Amino acid sequence: MNIVKVETFPLSFPLEVAARDATGVWDSWDTVIVRLTASDGTVGYGEIGPVHGGGVLAFKALVDYRIAPRILGEDPLDRERLFQKMLGQGTSAYAFGEKGAIVSAIAGIEMALWDLTGKILKTPVYQLLGGRVLSRIPAYASGFFGKEGRPLTPKECAEEARRYADQGFKGIKMKIGYGRKRDLENLEAVRTTLGPDLGIMVDANQGFTVAQVLQLSDELAAFDLTFLEEPISIHDVAGMSRLSATVPIPLAAGENYYTHKEFRDLVTQRAVSVVQPDVIHVGGIGEAKKVAVLAEAFGMALSPHIHATVGVAASIQLLASCPHTLAAEYITSGGSYDLRRALLGDAYMVDREGYVPVPDDPGLGIQVNTEALERYGIRG
């Protein structure tokens, strides 16, 4: 059995209303779907992205000219060896490095290798990761993106929170970093709407300094937050460690780290209580599992950053295999949800009790709608 074809499908899903968080504004949801074909005709799917503001063709070029030639003709079951080969050693790694865009591009291929392997062996990916611990994953709704270049108002936050509560979600995650007054007013509106029992998580997208978090921490803690995500720069692990030991709110981070090696200091310095690898950014399912094992050894909860389409399937398969799973992030707006429905149909939909069922189908448990690949495809 060997890999005979590597294909990339750059996609752009237009948004009716431009979305915003603390990092910027975007008017389309862009990603790259990867498809591998084995010599027996079996196909596996992965994903690179999302890529806000364009740039997906750069990932296509990385795969077509850099990565695909390194895996064509190889055995798709050799996932770890192929990950190391794609990442490169010595002068090979020197050209593109071992973090950033090249790792995300590799992740799309690596994800497809797991899907392909599961289909060849006729088993779900979670069985390849050690077996199923959870048959369904608790989900929290992640949204609250600003509209038309502005933050949401307290009334809009309350309305969105109510929708999620009515849909059965276990909690919500909202954006902060728009100024103390606006952040606290939005939080007050959401907590009043949800009541005391549902969880609230907040994501600052690295928008604060250590001093600002220390000033705000007591006011934020009054809302009984499940965790505070990326309050400061991800490069300031020492600052995160100080905050983690000081503020009365569990801290979370991990979506912007590449490979399991970048998580070493974050975990060993106990900079967070919740570890959030993104299966795409970290380099794929295998790297995400390594991070999960590291976090478990240090008593940290696992709640990956999930901001994708095919990547949702990969993340749920990972969580199903991990006893320290906290919850699955479930994006409901910003384009991700709508594009995922177009590509995958009803796969990995949250149920009325706020859980994502884990399918028993081989591989990632998805059937990709190839018509959607054509409809939203970018030519170039």
| β partners of residue 32 | 10, 48
* pLDDT computed for residue 283 by the predictor: 97
Whether residue 345 contacts residue 361, with contact meaning beta carbons closer than 8 Å, is answered with no
Three state DSSP letters for 195-211: CCCCEEEEECCCCCCHH
Whether residue 59 contacts residue 48, with contact meaning beta carbons closer than 8 Å, is answered with yes
The domain defined by 3-122 folds into: Enolase-like; domain 1 (3.30.390)
* pLDDT computed for residue 23 by the predictor: 64
**Cα–Cα dist 221/231, whole Å:** 14
**Cα–Cα dist 280/268, whole Å:** 23
Among 170, 152, 101, smallest CA distance to 333 is for: 152
Low-confidence ranges of the chain (pLDDT < 70): 19-24, 53, 89-94, 334, 380
pTM for the whole thing? 0.94
Which residue ranges make up each domain of the chain? 3-122, 127-357
* pLDDT computed for residue 337 by the predictor: 86
Convert the pLDDT of each residue in 243-302 to its tens digit.
Answer: 999 999 999 999 999 999 999 999 999 999 999 999 999 999 999 999 999 999 999 999
Cβ-Cβ contacts under 8 Å for 13 (sequence gap 6 or more): 28, 29, 30, 335, 338, 339, 342, 376
Burial 222-249 (b: 16+ CB within 10 A, else e): eeebbbbbbbbebebbebbbbbbeebeb
69 CB neighbour count, 10 Å cutoff: 11
Report how far apart, in Å, the C-alpha atoms of 185 and of each of 154, 202, 231, 247 are: 6, 13, 18, 21
Among 335, 275, 271, smallest CA distance to 309 is for: 335
* pLDDT computed for residue 26 by the predictor: 73
Name the residue type at position 202. V
* pLDDT computed for residue 343 by the predictor: 96
* pLDDT computed for residue 93 by the predictor: 55
* pLDDT computed for residue 145 by the predictor: 82
* pLDDT computed for residue 90 by the predictor: 55
Convert the pLDDT of each residue in 142-193 to its tens digit.
Answer: 989 877 778 899 999 999 999 999 999 999 999 999 999 999 999 999 999 9
Report how far apart, in Å, the C-alpha atoms of 199 and of each of 173, 254, 326, 377 are: 8, 20, 12, 37
The domain defined by 127-357 folds into: TIM Barrel (3.20.20)
